[in-house]
Amino acid sequence: MVYMAVMAAGVVAFLAALNWFPSLVRPDLARRYATVEDAMRAAGYHGILVPKYFPEGLSWPPAFIFAQKRPFRAVVLEFTEPKTMRTALIVVQSSLKGGAAEAEKLQRIRFARIREQTGYRLKGRDAVLQVGICGDGRPCSRIIWKEGGFYSSVLYMSYPVELIRIADSMVR
């Protein structure tokens, strides 16, 4: 019995080391971070756009923080609703060109159907506002704009009124 426990612990330790090894060899590949500052440094950003306004039920800090430097720089922040622990807000900042289609690759929640898409002026910047239904059946909206050579995308699991307030709070 002891031998089996030692062998199982050895296998678990081996698999953990195997999982950890790629981040040692290539620290610029995609991985999860504990703080926004760590993710920002890992992605090579000097500053990322972070919401200053959060609708009722959402708050700082993000529940999930992801960053990468290769093959392109990106930081993803996910905020959850405390009551349900479901993702309600996703903020993506990326150097990858391609707008909505490319931003969606970095999001764990995607549109099932876009009902409306329109141009929008976000504090003097050209943006694209999308409204529709996400994969889990909830209404969602997203706004995407370019600032300083980077693309920002904000997806909110609700209608666009609050989304616009969130995005406005991010733009300097």
Q: Is the pLDDT of residue 104 over 90?
A: no
Residue of 121 and 43 predicted with greater confidence: 121
Instruction: Tell me the per-residue pLDDT of 40-54, one tens digit each, with 9 for 90 and over.
Output: 777 677 777 888 888
What is the residue whose two structure tokens read 């609700």?
158
Q: What is the mean pLDDT of residues 22-31?
A: 54
Least confident segment among 38-42, 53-57, 137-141? 38-42
Distance CA 163, CA 17 (A): 41
Distance CA 117, CA 158 (A): 15
Indicate the pLDDT class of residue 105, thresholds 50, 70 and 90.
Answer: confident
- Percent pLDDT > 90 in the chain is 21
Q: Sign of dihedral through CA atoms 50, 125, 123, 118?
A: negative
